Amino acid sequence: MASYLGRLNDHEIHRALEHLAEGFQLEFKGGPTLGKADLTNALGWDAGTQGRVEWRIVSETSDAIAVEGEETNKFLALLDIEPLAFRSEFRFNDDGLISHQVHDVDWSGVSVSDALAPAIEWATEHARDELEQAYPQGKMVYSEETGRRWVALLQRWQAETGV
């Protein structure tokens, strides 16, 4: 578990994927479920936004581990959103690979869209091309490239507006 989460923090996406079984499923509580093939973009977003998790094991059996902690990234920090509490439960197959993960993030009291609105309003006027690259057709796209573009755009927004 430490190796897998360490690879995530180091943004070694392909090495992190080696810890996952072929039929791996990541279930976001209250949201989508991703297979192993879809996970590259989600982990790319974490790399592009310099994501980081701090965690501790809270329960462990022979085929499962639950961890709790906090996660953050540069995108959230630039929007003044505090680290988010999370709980993840991992199940392992007979080979010791992660076969299933349920990830539950505490978004209570947090609205990314509200926090992002002033930056989008500013970028519409002052950085339209950069906004379109980070936020194509007004939609969030989670990839390493868009993560990096958002961080750069939010840094520019802060520098030019003093926010």
Give the tens place of pLDDT for each residue, 50-63: 999 999 999 999 99
- Residues 17, 85 share a domain: yes
Is the pLDDT assigned to residue 37 strictly greater than 90?
A: no
Q: What is the pLDDT of residue 41?
A: 86
Q: Which domain holds residue 21?
A: 2-105
pLDDT above 90: percentage of residues in the chain: 95
Is the pLDDT assigned to residue 106 strictly greater than 90?
A: yes
> If you average pLDDT over residues 109-136, what whole number do you get?
97
Q: Distances from the Cα of 133 to the Cαs of 40, 128, 152, in angstroms?
A: 19, 9, 11
- Residues 26, 9 share a domain: yes
Q: What is the pLDDT of residue 28?
A: 95
- Residues 119, 90 share a domain: no
Is the pLDDT assigned to residue 8 strictly greater than 90?
A: yes
- Residues 96, 29 share a domain: yes
> If you average pLDDT over residues 104-124, what whole number do you get?
97
Rounded to an integer, what distance in angstroms lies between the CA atom of residue 163 and that of residue 161? 5
Closest C-alpha among 65, 104, 108 to residue 87:
104
Indicate the pTM of the whole model.
Answer: 0.92
How many domains would you assign to the chain?
2
